[in-house]
Chain A
Amino acid sequence: MKPLEPVGNTAKIVLGILFFVMLFAGWSFATFGGYVSKTFLADPVTMLHDGVELFVRYDFLHDIGMTVWRVLGGFVLATVVAVPLGIAMGAYKPVEAFFEPFVSFARYLPASAFIPLLILWAGTGEVQKLLVIFIGSVFQIVLMVAVSIGATRRDLVEAAYTLGARDRGIVARVMLPANAPEIAEILRLVLGWAWTYVIVAELIGASSGIGHMIVDSQALLATGQIIFGIIVIGVIGLVSDFLFKAANHRLFPWKFA
């Protein structure tokens, strides 16, 4: 193999699928071959069977819906607060000097460590779930957006000034559009993290959601259901990633021309 040599389209797809085939083969071999106890790891067929069972008997669709709504709710809230603040910080240095130390500190506070506190404050209802996602996402978005905006190409800003742009125009019509694809990319990344927070939030004090199902299944040693739940999370993540990328291509054709 030569470094950086591109791979053909067909080969790329085949290789990508091959990994999953091998993963399933290895899993089947370990479980059907009797090398791993059924108690600890269900075989693929049981897993699929359990999955169907989940939908048919336990209304798993409702759990999925709850989880998706929590992620999106918390994430949208965080975005609405964080993106404007990040832009203000990136563009105006006094604003950055005011917020940056706190946000940098808050960013390292693990969202999951807030769960006990949030349960005390907000109970075990939806507000608490949304707050976990919110706390987990908001500081990350603020900082990354601020860095992105702050790194706007200086020569573009200067060019806009010589064309008569004022300070507000520079922010609205140079810094923002110049960094919009970058901001979209930041949101895509943080949405991925938000998914890990929601499951953690649902592991503790929840009565619905994928995370709640997983905890329930653990008590019943239903490893098939657990694995199915994890796979569902992965698939939803993949789909949202794909949607984000497709939206970016539509919104920012100049970037991909």
Chain B
Amino acid sequence: MTQLLVEGVSRQFPGRRGAGPTRALEPTTIAVEKNDFITVLGPSGCGKSTLLRIVAGLDRPTTGRVMLDGREVKGPGADRGMVFQSYTLFPWLTVAENIAFGLAERGMPEKERAEIVADYVQKVGLRGFEHHWPKQLSGGMQQRTAIARALANDPEILLLDEPFGALDTQTRGLMQEMLLAIWEREKKTVMFVTHDIEEAIFLASRVIVMTARPGRIKTEIAVDLPHPRDYHMKTTAAFSELKARLTEEIRAEAVLAATEH
């Protein structure tokens, strides 16, 4: 069953100081099945973040529309949880209060909230840090809290915009495994944007490759690797083969993007 439908969505940013408008995203159509995990892979500036922001309702498409469960997306809402690349925990709230933010906005009673928060604190491995301020956490822990905060809201779909982009390679690997483990257990529709080829393959059941600016879908590659996956997966032959294929696809775009700037 198709849960998310991106229908001919494009985005143009108005030109500044006489320059023509910038086409960030060419008309793009993507259908995402319920409980599917897709990654959107592309070089920087290909409009993949713009696409995600449009799905989140934080940006408006110039043409086309986004349908979630048959309803058109008009603005941001609790049914689409988002994890940003920048650290967006509320610095004045503790880890537990951050995770409870969406629930509190919904008016859920304190006691119910506490149960859900405790559950997600445990799932993302932050036991003992509930009462820390974001400032006192490492980057990886902050992003784990951000994932817990988005999931605690029980959204229809989880949107992630290069959430591990600022982390070191080792931490990033651990975070990928943690996210995947949660997904394997709980099932959730996930749309994950990244420029990291390995990350795109490791997490997804389907990788959507985008071209350099203006962004459009170049190709889609199904990832038929078995679940549950862990870090061993990254050294298997099947994984390497996919990686080689995607490297070819993305390299041409990266070269194009690099020469443009």
Contact = CB atoms under 8 A, between A and B. Distances in A.
A174 B104 CA distance: 13
A163 B102 contact: yes
Interface in A101-119: none
A203 B38 CA distance: 73
Interface stretch (A154-162, A186-194, A216-224, A238-246): A154-162
Given A254-B92, A257-B133, A163 B101 contact: yes
A164 B78 CA distance: 4
Give chain A's interface residue range (CB within 8 Å of chain B): 20 to 34
Nearest to A253: B133
Interface stretch (B8-16, B81-89, B223-231): B81-89
Contact of A155 (B88, B102, B136, B149): B88
A252 interface: yes
Interface string A176-192: 01101000000000000
A254 B78 contact: no
Contacts of B81: 162-163
A155 B86 contact: yes
A160 B135 CA distance: 18
Contacts of B56: 162
Contact of A159 (B77, B82, B135): B82
Query: How many B residues touch the partner, as a band?
Result: 20 to 34
B195 interface: no
B163 to A, nearest CB: 12
A160 B134 CA distance: 16
Contact of B153 (A163, A174, A178, A255): A163
A41 interface: no
A30 interface: no
Contacts of B86: 155
Nearest to A173: B105
Contacts of B82: 158-159, 162
A160 B80 CA distance: 12
Interface in B126-171: 133-136, 146, 149-150, 153, 159
Nearest to A179: B92
B178 to A, nearest CB: 20
Contacts of A174: 90
Interface string B85-124: 0101011110000000110011000000000000000000
Given A169-B105, A253-B133, A161 B88 contact: no
5 contacts: A158-B82, A161-B75, A162-B58, A162-B82, A254-B92
